Amino acid sequence: MSKNISMQQRQPRSLLLLCGFLVVVIGAGAFIGTQTTPGAWYDALDKPPFNPPSWVFAPVWFTLYVLIAIAGWRTALREGFLGAGMSLWGLQMVLNWAWSPAFFTAENLWLAVLIILPMLATILAFIAYSWLRDRLSAWLFVPYALWVGFASFLNISLAALN
pLDDT at res. 4: 57
What average pLDDT does this structure show over 59-81? Answer: 96
The stretch 69-86 carries a mean pLDDT of 96
Instruction: Identify the pLDDT of residue 7.
Output: 55
- Which pLDDT does position 12 carry in this prediction? 72
With 60 as the cut, is the pLDDT of residue 1 above it? Answer: no
With bands split at pLDDT 50, 70 and 90, how would you rate the model's confidence at 13? confident
In which band, very low, low, confident or very high, does the pLDDT at 6 lie, cut at 50, 70 and 90?
low
Confidence of residue 11 (pLDDT cuts 50, 70, 90): confident
pLDDT recorded at residue 145: 98
CATH number for region 3-161: 1.20.1260.100
HEC profile of the chain: CCHHHHHHHCCHHHHHHHHHHHHHHHHHHHHHHHHCCCCHHHHHCCCCCCCCCHHHHHHHHHHHHHHHHHHHHHHHHHHCCCCHHHHHHHHHHHHHHHHHHHHHHCCCHHHHHHHHHHHHHHHHHHHHHHHCCCHHHHHHHHHHHHHHHHHHHHHHHHHHHC
Q: pLDDT tens digits, residue range 15-69?
A: 999 999 999 999 999 999 999 988 899 999 999 999 999 899 999 999 999 999 9
pLDDT, one tens digit per residue, over 110-161 is 999 999 999 999 999 999 999 999 999 999 999 999 999 999 999 999 999 9
Query: pTM for this structure?
Result: 0.92
Domain ranges of the chain: 3-161
Amino acid identity at 10: R
